[in-house]
Structure 1
Amino acid sequence: MSYLKRKRYEADLASEQAEKRPATLIEEHVLVKLREAENPESEAQKIRDEEDQIVENLVETTERLAPVSEKSRGIIYTDPMPSTWTPPKYLQSMPESDRERIREKYHILCDGENIPPPVLRFKDFKLPQPILDTFKKKGIKTPTPIQIQAMSCALSGRDVIGIAYTGSGKTLIFVLPAIMFSLEEQLKMPVEGGEGPFALMLCPSRELARQTYNVTMEFVDGLARGGFPKLRVLLCIGGINMEEQRDILRYGPHIVIATPGRLNEMLGRGRFSLDFCKYVVLDEADRMFDTNFDEDVRNIFDFFKYQRQTLLFSATMPKKVQEFARMSLVKPIIVNTGRAGAANMDVIQEVELVKEDAKMVYLLQALEKTGPPVLIFCENKIDVDRVNEYLLIKGVRAVSMHGGKDQTDREQSISRFKDGTADVLVATDVASKGLDFPNIRHVINYDMPREIENYIHRIGRTGRGDETGVATTFINKNSSDSVLLDLKHLLMEAKQHIPEVLKAIPDPHAELYVAAGTKGCAICGGLGHLAKDCPKWQMQTRRVLASAISSTRGEGSDW
């Protein structure tokens, strides 16, 4: 007799023997469990309900992203920002069925109201000729899938949530509309000293802000050479002397590209204001809403005076962030060219079981897989310095960067790596998000990161554009089963080889997750667990609790 049948028989027998007495709680629990075992769909529905409830609770307990002045007066904008841009007439008259065929061809998923048409040619974005000339100079011929749809949304004044693989060209989607909006505002009402900016772009790291600044300046300089007004772009990051940009501050910036900490400092000192700013971008938005940045970002939004167009972009955008963004944005359009948190399909992922004390030897072997340039990621600053020193001793042209180095050293390392005078860059995750290095052949994860989101961003430094890359990851007993289970499912999704050590990790709920139709944890996007078991959520909860306890102690409680 099978286990389920025997349990059913015992339950029926107990029921007959207790006809005239109410069932005990234990008996009722056994019957419920039996019914769930016989009907997996009910358990799958329970999982779906639990996930939805967790996300709902998180969103309900999180204040929407808006200035205090708007919240206090109950101001909620219901209409998107007006825009003077319109697509060409042939695209305006294109039937929705034809628009959908284009989106299906390029695997573009959209969600929102009154979605602008996809645009397949740069000239149909009605950009000035100097910008088109800059495209030609850079060798950019046609828009990428995310640009085809998201660019027209941004130019139309719509709030956008953009999700795409790393290396898919997300930066241009928000840089070009920022330039066009600022140029239009400057022609209508020139900025004077103490005024500006019209557009703000926030980045989680100094290196990403610097990279965005460089991209912006290419197009701004091209416009100026073409006879258009020269826009003033302010780079506002830690580690640089802001007095070097005193002329921009004196005459007023049109565009500000910043990290949250330094921007808060500058706004607090009154060096410029956001009174006229109506265009704001949060690059790597999921990182911007982490505990480390959340308060800074909210403080920045308190400086806005009017409605603004808001754009959020990232390769990893968990459901929690998407739902929060829906609440904070005005009729946003979600443009997705890949599952949020999915790995780039152009990256060959290889996972190797390596003991901690043997990593250095295996590192040299891994470096032989491809030629340079190679990017090596470590979890902490000490390992970055150790690995860099070891490679230099072995005659490898290596440089390093991490948060403990001053800005000059960090920028020098990036510069040497980009110009080819260094073959290997050893770095912490400060180099993993958004940075665009040319033709990276190989990414090596000296340590498996603690969160699967960081793994996605790391390996996304290779396989960019139309190139194929290799990612090698060392794992061992120091790697948590939770993140390894996420890695296993990620490899399965990308149809990559799964080593035996990952196959052996217990995965008792895999079939149930499939039945529930889950597309990854709503908190971090990991495929191997659900929100209730998310290590990132548990860690953030502990931080909040520790902060609350510390605050209570500071108030002279009985702790």
Structure 2
Amino acid sequence: MEEENLEEVVKSFEELGVCEPLIEACAKLGWNTPTKIQSDAIPHALEGKDIIGLAQTGSGKTGAFALPIIQALLEAKSPQSFFGCVLSPTRELAIQIAEQFEALGASIGLKTAVLVGGVDMNQQQFALGKRPHIIVATPGRLMDHLTNTKGFSLRTLKYLVLDEADKLLNADFEKSLDDILKVIPLKRRTFLFSATMTKKVKKLQRACLRNPVKIETTTKYSTVDTLKQQFLFVPAKHKHCYLVYILMEMSGRAMVFTGTRSASHFLALMLRNLGLRAVPYNGKMAQAKRLGALNKFKSGDCSILICSEVGSRGLDIPSVDMVINYDIPDNSKDYIHRVGRTARAKRSGVAISLVNQYEVEQFFMIENLVGKKISKYPAEEEEVLQLLERVNEAKRISNMKMKESGGKKRRREMRDDDEEETKKYLNKGNKFRKTSKKSRR
């Protein structure tokens, strides 16, 4: 594999070889200076080389692959439908990638189609009938159309992009991805982008990239310098109270990450009962409700988005000021993706982790992963617990509301999640008791 990096930081898109119409499109989007991943990747991509790019979330990866693909389309002898395909692990990321393609290609009539689950297949078939230049899809839904949509194929495909490649290789997508790679042209350019390099990503690069240039703008598992990371050890029984305290102390927009879907619903209800503008966001919600929650958060109608793990990938909301890990993730790498929702595109941001007595070991693993000690968030217990009575009342009302509005199916889903959460904490507790004496910070 060829490993190259540009020695000097390029100061303009013109110096990278980007054509004038796209330079103007970048200016309209406020992209005045290329990011590091764009500076390093775009010249190689314009030369027709395969790319494997490792970069932090929020580093401008979409521009790094979208600009070369649109420029290649402009330089083609005649506009070609189904010219490029971008595969994404989440619906929201797919929609955001398509929006950036459309914005960059607005002046040249670029057409895109988004193929994701949770949307009517007939609508998507109609969009495919318009012969779009770029398809952005989740693997499962793309395979559905390749199998069932009459007249649709990717025989003319010239560019394939695998975004968030480490996530695309989990059990949910692996078979669909293998099937897609079997039916698309071997003669194509392939761009693979990931925030983390795993064994599966290495295997994939060997399978579908030809003599790629490796662009690595970050260490293996790192966070951006503009991100301030903090933690707070809290007793599990008072974690709700500490969350409310932090949200009341901090200003701006916050994303709060939970371990289960039911927890995201419950916390959103509880915070609303306390007068805080919060909405839930999780994979169990219908697609329309998920997009509605995102739009409220982006527009400022609500200032707090309570997310399950589905929110940790691909959501590009530049104005997120703070990420709170209400539950510490079991997989330390998920921490990198969660906190990557803030401090994007050279902005500053804060990430605060609430660590209870059962999550100590996971937190130490996160510190080992990022390679530094995380500082303590200043909070006086006496001051925090002044909120306890109000928080307990809000919890009581939230429990009542969830029971009243649930129905049998909803209660069963909540019970399953609660059982899952209980088992998780019991396992953590047992593990903690066995290993706490051996743990060293």
* Aligned match for 1:219, one of 90, 99, 104: 104
CA contact 1:168–1:465 (8 Å) conserved in 2 = yes
CA displacement 1:371-422 (0-9 Å, x = unmatched): 1211101111010001011011111111111111111111111111011111
Q: Which structure 2 residues correspond to residues 91-240 of structure 1 after superposition, within 5 A?
A: 112=2, 119-185=10-76, 188-191=77-80, 196-221=81-106, 223-224=107-108, 230-240=109-119
CA distance in 1, matches of 2:313, 2:342: 12
Q: Which structure 2 residues correspond to residues 247-396 of structure 1 after superposition, within 5 A?
A: 247-271=126-150, 272-322=152-202, 324-396=204-276
Equivalent residue number for residue 106 of structure 1: none
CA distance in 2, matches of 1:498, 1:341: 21
Equivalent residue number for residue 399 of structure 2: none
Match status 1:445 vs 2:336: no
Equivalent residue number for residue 429 of structure 1: 309
* Structure possessing the higher radius of gyration over alpha carbons: 1
1:371–1:116 CA distance, 2 compared to 1 (3 A): closer
**Which one-letter code corresponds to 2:92 in the other structure?**
E
| Superposed displacement of residue 469, structure 1 | 1.0
CA distance in 1, matches of 2:206, 2:372: 29
* SS class of match (1:441): strand
CA displacement 1:489-511 (0-9 Å, x = unmatched): 245x2453279x9x977358x9x
**Normalization by structure 2: what TM-score?**
0.81
Match status 1:486 vs 2:365: yes
CA contact 1:354–1:474 (8 Å) conserved in 2 = yes
CA distance in 2, matches of 1:340, 1:131: 32
CA distance in 2, matches of 1:505, 1:260: 45
**Normalization by structure 1: what TM-score?**
0.64
CA contact 1:418–1:438 (8 Å) conserved in 2 = no
CA distance in 2, matches of 1:490, 1:157: 35
1:317–1:114 CA distance, 2 compared to 1 (3 A): closer
Supply the RMSD in Å over aligned alpha carbons. Answer: 2.4
CA displacement 1:62-113 (0-9 Å, x = unmatched): xxxxxxxxxxxxxxxxxxxxxxxxxxxxxxxxxxxxxxxxxxxxxxxxx716
1:114–1:284 CA distance, 2 compared to 1 (3 A): closer
CA distance in 2, matches of 1:318, 1:505: 31
1:113–1:387 CA distance, 2 compared to 1 (3 A): closer
Equivalent residue number for residue 24 of structure 1: none
1:506–1:335 CA distance, 2 compared to 1 (3 A): farther
CA distance in 2, matches of 1:299, 1:323: 16
CA contact 1:113–1:331 (8 Å) conserved in 2 = no
* SS class of match (2:375): coil
1:401–1:283 CA distance, 2 compared to 1 (3 A): same
CA contact 2:102–2:111 (8 Å) conserved in 1 = no
CA distance in 2, matches of 1:506, 1:181: 57
**Which one-letter code corresponds to 1:262 in the other structure?**
R
CA distance in 2, matches of 1:320, 1:254: 30
CA distance in 2, matches of 1:283, 1:339: 18
**Which one-letter code corresponds to 1:506 in the other structure?**
K
Equivalent residue number for residue 438 of structure 2: 506
CA distance in 2, matches of 1:369, 1:139: 32
| Superposed displacement of residue 278, structure 1 | 2.0
CA distance in 2, matches of 1:440, 1:120: 27
Match status 1:419 vs 2:306: no
CA distance in 1, matches of 2:3, 2:250: 47
| Superposed displacement of residue 475, structure 1 | 1.7
| Superposed displacement of residue 281, structure 1 | 0.6
* SS class of match (1:152): helix
CA contact 1:282–1:312 (8 Å) conserved in 2 = yes
1:437–1:429 CA distance, 2 compared to 1 (3 A): same
* SS class of match (1:200): strand
CA displacement 1:426-453 (0-9 Å, x = unmatched): 1112111121112211100110011011
Match status 1:404 vs 2:277: no
1:113–1:316 CA distance, 2 compared to 1 (3 A): closer
Q: Percent identity?
A: 34
* SS class of match (2:285): coil
* SS class of match (1:312): strand
Q: Can you give the 5+ residue segments of structure 2 that lack an aligned partner in the other structure?
A: 378-431
* Aligned match for 1:241, one of 120, 135, 160: 120
| Superposed displacement of residue 231, structure 1 | 2.5
CA distance in 2, matches of 1:504, 1:231: 57
- How many pairs are equivalent? 383
* SS class of match (2:183): coil
CA displacement 1:448-487 (0-9 Å, x = unmatched): 0110111000001111122221111112243373x33321
